Structure 1
């Protein structure tokens, strides 16, 4: 009840805020409109301020802001007006005697930069780290010093509404049913997101886009929404680029280069990267076991060192060829190679029922892995005579090969017992994609979109475990498995959007997806084919009160298909009494997603608030259970995903960008949600016993993130962000709360051609996952930290790319990479 009382004031505030904005509007007599461009480049200026004052009656004033295309419109009374156009770093443009008698368009107005002022406000003129829009949030990685020298996991863990746990699992608004794309595609490294979070360098990422309720043009995959990671691709004229070097502790040596050469006929771009790193983490499982009467039988404490050494190379080479003024052909080739060593030690402390020490056991694992990925993409884009009328055809193929080998030595000196094990895990995946998008403007404001997407994947995972018995290696058939996963998905979509009135617009569409999926366990000849197709409609309504505030109501139907480690029964055996086991019989879950959002802009402030509700059938839930006993009688705890009957999730999500002074910028995010699960789970353990557990559960949870960037004397930038994840109850226990922070200092040198950055990731060495689990036969306290505190020093040098170029790129923030037919 106390938590219910906490959410009521939040929801009340949100709806009062919406209501006050609605009723505050009063109809006016005329509309004044126009477009604002940057004079030297012709780039639209977003967020330029337009001020209108009646020349006969100064008490009559109005105004607005430009949108992503530089357009503005607002209501005024008829009369003669003094118009003023302001944008930070540009000379103020003043227009006198602008007569408004009925709807009036003042045409295109071009503003010129004020060079002296520009030098003084370079920091403020850069685009914001977080851009808040009504339908999405855009996180500009290049503006965030915190993630220099980090990974994609560090990047996503700084994005509003997004969290990444200690094992690399990505959540959106606290929901792990999220679809992550790389450059708008589900192929390549995007097929293994948890691994991508660890090996993809932050320096290779340009920005991240978050769409919480996608329309029919996007893949229906992802009940919580879509996260699109956009990699860097140079666009500047001539030869230009940047080079970044990083050193860190624990060991982190990085080199990244982004270079492009653009002429009138083509644009060549490349990204090259190298990393040699070492990270340290840990895991803890403290277990208490009970008999059938609830009496303690023993304690086993498990402690694990998570060590990881990686040497990786990556390269992207791309060519945009402007065949004609309206046709562009782009070809991109990406290759990555990573060699990984994970020497881990797991120690076990055995205690009797009185918590008295009995003996220790140690498992020494030496795991080596190499991963090779290659992907080729070709795209043809045709721009027709009418603006926004275009056709895009894209195809890509990729191949990923992962090989792991582990040697395990198990020593229990007190029992005079040693054992040896080894495992191999070989994965090979091939994927292809074909995509067609067509966009047709209709009339003044209508737009029809249609398209096709075909994705085709084949992945084989061969995990083999061997035990040494009498100096002979014997295959452990109970824990070995070869899993074959094949997926063919064909999709068509159609949607149409237009204005109903001057302020009210709509977007309605439907997507049809046909799925043909094989999940085959080859060793035991268990073949499972799942064929299904369905329609996924979406509807959006948008009401604009003025250029600075609008509200959107939306609905979409989504699907979440189980893949990868969710399905694989075995792929890891570091611990022999606590391990993860995939479920090859998982069914897809389907979600009805509703969202009500409000966006308001003031000078220096942008606020976005959303209320959302999701109903998911056959929801995935991770459960822990007793899966049998080891050779010495120790219970084995297995974690697996299962399908529960239904999950209800609703909450409020608020994001705020605030610039109180020229030298201080703040952005914050707050997400509060309630989840309700209903369902029972029946399983058979390793010993053949049938058990049923009830997973009905109601839980409240919230997390909040705040980032502050301050310009200190001598133009030193200081940035700090913090995040708090509140405790959350589950059907089997509780996930503990967690507070973490990052810190960074940055200084431009060499006449702003270079930047030196010092940052500390996980300042208090506190970012970890801590939980308690209560089972009928055991109680467990777990802690997991994948990587501890990281300190990095980075140096970036820009050639033929002055820092002020960021200002020009930042103006066209509507070019998000997800507009129109960029992603399906």
Structure 2
């Protein structure tokens, strides 16, 4: 059985079960010679999900004497050895009604009895001891992933998916919206285990409301079941979905400063064999930010120095709606259909002030550059899922099909003036991108013998992206002319066929899982106007191994290995320049190769009286690593370009400690120590580096009088060296207060994100004949007030102590 980190959530259940066991140990009449094995499985009555940590108590039929008790495991299963006789069982789980199973008569000579599936229904009333104010992220440790159940983390309420990720251990989101895990950006992001229309567009994560998210799975060493994409693993965002009978749901309203207004709902209605569900969110948010740059470059004996200030406002209206239906054809077959529509309309205004300086610091020229950008995107997704179960509960067949359309348009106007000339420079750019993405996947799991299972599956995915980019400049006559080299049309096609096979077995204290995945990739980039075609075709195998050993109920060891691939992102292949800051530009590289990673990880989990401790030691060996480097340009500016370097050895130690000083004060500390040794060069420039860094995060939850909850979260990222410089330290503090109202149906939340306004990115680049210091703040301190209302959905213990968020591009 996998031990999860959900100790405190189930504390009342554990106490109840332990009391039953203690009662048995103090003189009951059951004899030690037990020869009948009684087993079964506990599930939620409406969702069919297995229930872990259910307390199962055994009573003697004749006098209702409590004899013994056990707890269901992670799959909801239980086993009890009893002597022949007449019994009844009581099933208790916090937030659910007690279920009594009477009339169990075990016969002499009987070896085993299977009770089948026992279902529990939710309680209609709420016990006083489970009305805990405030919630936080709760982590479950599974064989090949960690699951963060997302609840009402008040410090992040009213945000987006990017904030959710940025607030999880070992995950970072930088100023450009790039997500990194354990120091690497080679991570694959999925929605419900698959590509999604919600991930379309440049600001995709920033446009997904946190209220839509149920949980986040972080798979640092994925098994062969998962697609091989993602050098350091997979981040899988699970959306909320309810299958309880009747009509229920939740509504939310958010307001804040800087401007932040939002509304959302999640509803479902189930009647007999049909369940209708819908999720909706709309949000308007303005994100003022900015930064500074100091740059010094030497070109042919001439020193070029400038500093700049940037102020920006990124405002936008984002909306999405999902409609779906579950058809429960019978007890064994379920068909689910859904459609999703996402619309985004953004207005981004940026002002740059450049001051060209001499070596004495005197201003030689003052230049203003204004950018006015309109960004609009439409995303559509249609999905179909079929699920078939069998009499053997471990046997399962699923089929998935998904079709995604994305249409994204960016139109920008640039106006540049200088104090040394009366000429006004007018430029404009357009970038239109259309994507068609569909995939088919089928998975099958089949038990072979006791506690052993085989899994197999196949997947085909196909993408086509059409991107047209154009920059024009106005001449003195008012005519618009194409800017040299910035006019092209790129077509990207990607077809991937994959199959996998996994075998796993549970041998008691020791369990293992062995797998292999084969992926055939056919990828082509074509620059239509210049007639440049770059086809890539390769077949790769990706083995995986996962081992788990339970020393005892409080200690567990894990060991895993996997091989991964990190294909270049589409935007890293685009050879077109960014054009907002024309002194610091970015361009893609269509000649990028995929990088490969071999990953090893070992973990140790320990429970103690007031908490738990989890630590992981990991090592990654990477080849052809993709790194963004800076290249000085002849005019004193810079070009950032992704390239392939040679190799990297990465080592890390990650830990998580949960500890309760008092019942009203709960704490969680996460830390990650990381070292990366990189070797490589580019055009004669040595880009080798030996980087050390660490990060830590502290979360505290306080239960105050008057049903008030207080949460605080402090995050620190230590300085980090890279191939051409270093990122400086960054720290921030978030805080929030929450209170339940309207008899527990409503919740008011007030939160402050970045309380001391210190969430800034600071970077130094220092290479031969070039030095630059940069600081940037994506969004200033935020104040948010949120109201949530639950319709026919009482707040229960299984929803408590979780976390949620939202975020930055």
Q: TM-score range by the shorter chain?
A: 0.7 to 0.9
1:751 and 2:743 matched = yes
Q: Select the residue among 371, 375, 380 that pairs with 2:386.
A: 380
Q: Select the residue among 121, 133, 143 that pairs with 2:130.
A: 121
**Residues of 1 paired with 2:134 and 2:274: CA distance?**
30
**Residues of 2 paired with 1:608 and 1:105: CA distance?**
37
- 1:788 aligned residue: 780
Contact 2:678–2:689 (CA<8 Å) still a contact in 1?
yes
Deviates more, 1:33-42 or 1:300-309: 33-42
**Residues of 1 paired with 2:399 and 2:423: CA distance?**
63
Q: How far 1:174 sits from its partner (Å)?
A: 1.4
- 2:770 aligned residue: 778
Q: Select the residue among 497, 508, 519 that pairs with 1:513.
A: 519
**Residues of 1 paired with 2:639 and 2:372: CA distance?**
22
**Residues of 1 paired with 2:360 and 2:372: CA distance?**
35
Contact 2:627–2:643 (CA<8 Å) still a contact in 1?
yes
TM-score by length of 1: 0.85
Q: How far 1:111 sits from its partner (Å)?
A: 9.6
Contact 2:200–2:379 (CA<8 Å) still a contact in 1?
no
1:619 and 2:625 matched = yes
1:583 and 2:555 matched = no
1:466 and 2:472 matched = yes
Contact 1:132–1:655 (CA<8 Å) still a contact in 2?
no
Seen in structure 2, the aligned counterparts of structure 1 residues 534 and 351 have a Cα distance that, compared at 3 Å, is same
- 1:643 aligned residue: 644
- 1:681 aligned residue: 682
Q: How far 1:444 sits from its partner (Å)?
A: 1.4
**Residues of 2 paired with 1:39 and 1:271: CA distance?**
22
Q: Report how many aligned residue pairs link the two structures.
A: 748
Q: Select the residue among 707, 714, 720 that pairs with 1:715.
A: 707
**Residues of 2 paired with 1:561 and 1:488: CA distance?**
12
- 2:182 aligned residue: 173
Q: How far 1:479 sits from its partner (Å)?
A: 2.7
**Residues of 2 paired with 1:489 and 1:39: CA distance?**
37
Q: How far 1:545 sits from its partner (Å)?
A: 1.8
**Residues of 2 paired with 1:437 and 1:334: CA distance?**
24
**Residues of 1 paired with 2:545 and 2:271: CA distance?**
42
**Residues of 1 paired with 2:555 and 2:673: CA distance?**
23
Map 1:589-738; keep pairs closer than 5 Å.
589-626=595-632, 628-629=633-634, 634-682=635-683, 692-738=684-730
SS at match of 1:167: coil
Contact 1:134–1:599 (CA<8 Å) still a contact in 2?
no
- 1:492 aligned residue: 499
**Residues of 2 paired with 1:282 and 1:362: CA distance?**
15
Contact 1:132–1:608 (CA<8 Å) still a contact in 2?
no
**Residues of 1 paired with 2:114 and 2:662: CA distance?**
32
1:221 and 2:253 matched = no
SS at match of 1:272: strand
Seen in structure 2, the aligned counterparts of structure 1 residues 781 and 422 have a Cα distance that, compared at 3 Å, is same
Contact 1:38–1:112 (CA<8 Å) still a contact in 2?
no
Contact 1:73–1:547 (CA<8 Å) still a contact in 2?
no
- 1:821 aligned residue: none
Q: How far 1:572 sits from its partner (Å)?
A: 2.5
Q: Select the residue among 466, 475, 486 that pairs with 2:482.
A: 475
**Residues of 2 paired with 1:118 and 1:668: CA distance?**
30
Q: How far 1:637 sits from its partner (Å)?
A: 0.0
Q: How far 1:134 sits from its partner (Å)?
A: 5.0
Unaligned stretches of 5+ in structure 1?
1-27, 53-61, 77-82, 683-691, 814-824
- Summarize deviations over 1:775-794 as a string: whole Å, max 9, x none: 22321001122222121111
Q: How far 1:677 sits from its partner (Å)?
A: 0.4
- Summarize deviations over 1:316-371 as a string: whole Å, max 9, x none: 00100111221111001000111100111111011112211122100111110100
- Summarize deviations over 1:413-472 as a string: whole Å, max 9, x none: 223332110000101111001001011112111111110111100001111100111211
- 1:25 aligned residue: none
Deviates more, 1:139-148 or 1:172-181: 139-148
Unaligned stretches of 5+ in structure 2?
1-31, 59-67, 83-88, 101-105, 803-809
Deviates more, 1:475-484 or 1:511-520: 475-484
Q: Select the residue among 245, 253, 275 that pairs with 1:267.
A: 275
**Residues of 1 paired with 2:69 and 2:573: CA distance?**
56
Q: CA RMSD in A?
A: 3.4
**Residues of 2 paired with 1:237 and 1:89: CA distance?**
16
Seen in structure 2, the aligned counterparts of structure 1 residues 761 and 73 have a Cα distance that, compared at 3 Å, is farther
1:401 and 2:393 matched = no
Q: How far 1:49 sits from its partner (Å)?
A: 7.7
Contact 2:752–2:781 (CA<8 Å) still a contact in 1?
yes
SS at match of 2:508: coil
**Residues of 1 paired with 2:162 and 2:688: CA distance?**
32
**Residues of 2 paired with 1:606 and 1:29: CA distance?**
35
- 2:312 aligned residue: 306
**Residues of 2 paired with 1:519 and 1:711: CA distance?**
56
Contact 2:305–2:359 (CA<8 Å) still a contact in 1?
yes
1:258 and 2:266 matched = yes
Q: Select the residue among 201, 206, 210 that pairs with 2:209.
A: 201
Deviates more, 1:336-345 or 1:29-38: 29-38
Q: Select the residue among 445, 449, 465 that pairs with 1:443.
A: 449
- 2:6 aligned residue: none
Contact 1:137–1:160 (CA<8 Å) still a contact in 2?
no
Contact 1:240–1:261 (CA<8 Å) still a contact in 2?
yes
Deviates more, 1:734-743 or 1:124-133: 124-133
Deviates more, 1:442-451 or 1:133-142: 133-142
1:277 and 2:285 matched = yes
Map 1:235-250; keep pairs closer than 5 Å.
235-250=243-258
SS at match of 1:355: coil
**Residues of 1 paired with 2:127 and 2:137: CA distance?**
16
**Residues of 2 paired with 1:748 and 1:384: CA distance?**
43
**Residues of 2 paired with 1:111 and 1:604: CA distance?**
29
1:364 and 2:394 matched = no
Seen in structure 2, the aligned counterparts of structure 1 residues 217 and 112 have a Cα distance that, compared at 3 Å, is closer
Contact 2:333–2:388 (CA<8 Å) still a contact in 1?
yes
Deviates more, 1:456-465 or 1:599-608: 599-608
- Summarize deviations over 1:458-506 as a string: whole Å, max 9, x none: 001111100111211000132333221110000000111113x422221
SS at match of 2:198: helix
Deviates more, 1:143-152 or 1:249-258: 143-152
- 1:144 aligned residue: 153
- 1:17 aligned residue: none
- Summarize deviations over 1:714-733 as a string: whole Å, max 9, x none: 11111111110000111211
SS at match of 2:204: helix
Which structure has the higher relative contact order (CA within 8 Å, separation 6+)? 2
Contact 1:282–1:786 (CA<8 Å) still a contact in 2?
yes
- 1:818 aligned residue: none
1:160 and 2:166 matched = no
**Residues of 2 paired with 1:661 and 1:50: CA distance?**
29
- 1:541 aligned residue: 547
SS at match of 1:256: strand
Seen in structure 2, the aligned counterparts of structure 1 residues 451 and 114 have a Cα distance that, compared at 3 Å, is closer
Q: How far 1:507 sits from its partner (Å)?
A: 0.8
Contact 2:681–2:687 (CA<8 Å) still a contact in 1?
yes
- 2:537 aligned residue: 531
Q: How far 1:184 sits from its partner (Å)?
A: 0.9
SS at match of 1:788: coil
Map 1:299-338; keep pairs closer than 5 Å.
299-338=305-344
**Residues of 1 paired with 2:34 and 2:421: CA distance?**
90
- 1:552 aligned residue: 558
Q: Select the residue among 196, 211, 226 that pairs with 2:219.
A: 211
- 1:762 aligned residue: 754
